[in-house]
Amino acid sequence: MKTKDKITENSAEAFNNAATVGLEPEKLIELFRKFEKKQARTRRLVAGLNIFLFIFYTALASGQTGKTASGYLLCGLGFILGAAYLYFRYRPLPASAYTLSIMDFLGKTEKRLRYFTGVDYIILIPILTLIGIGAGLIFTGRLSQYTGREGLLTMIWIIFFIGLCLF
């Protein structure tokens, strides 16, 4: 079963039209603006979810003590940093970019559409580490009430979280 992606389909259509009829910058700009609108909806949804999780985890931290409370606060901080990353990383192009020559516009859009560049990894790895440390503190803090083997719980969490990030 093959599914069709509208962005890819429209891109292929625009490319075929450009090859046979000539490059039409208006269609290209219209296609990119549609993509930006779709991306903005997704960005708002995921950032809103991250903000909700920040509020939720911060509220949970107020009722806890010790390292469990610290874990909830670290997780909340990781979620709010993730929302800030989404806001700044996926902002739409400024209006002045649409008045550039076609090659300059294509250069800007190509740069904008690259996913998981080196800079993204430099930003996301510490955010995921922060969430992982917070979740580990919650995990070990809650389960240490039932067992005295905190070292074993820490090792279980480290192995689980590294596996989760890798796969």
What is the per-residue pLDDT across 30-53, written as a single tens digit (0 to 9) for each? 888 888 889 889 989 999 999 999
Q: What are the φ/ψ torsions at residue 94 (nearest 5 degrees)?
A: -70, 160
**Mean pLDDT throughout 105-123?**
84
**DSSP secondary structure of 38-64:** HHHHHHHHHHHHHHHHHHHHHHHHHT-
Span between the terminal Cα atoms of the chain, in Å? 25
Higher pLDDT, 6 or 141: 141
Hey, what long-range contacts does 16-25 have (CB within 8 A, 24 or more apart)?
23/102, 25/102, 25/105
For residues 144 and 136, what is the distance between their CA atoms, to the nearest angstrom?
12
Residue with tokens 């979280």: 161
The mean-pLDDT minimum among 15-19, 80-84, 89-93, 158-162 falls in 15-19
Report whether pLDDT(22) > 60. no
pTM of the model: 0.72
Residue 128 structure tokens = 């995921």
CA dist 105 to 25, 94, 95, Å? 9, 11, 11
**Domain chopping of the chain, boundaries:** 6-166
Q: Which residue has the higher pLDDT, 68 or 7?
A: 68
Torsion, Cα of 149, 154, 155, 161 (10° steps): 150
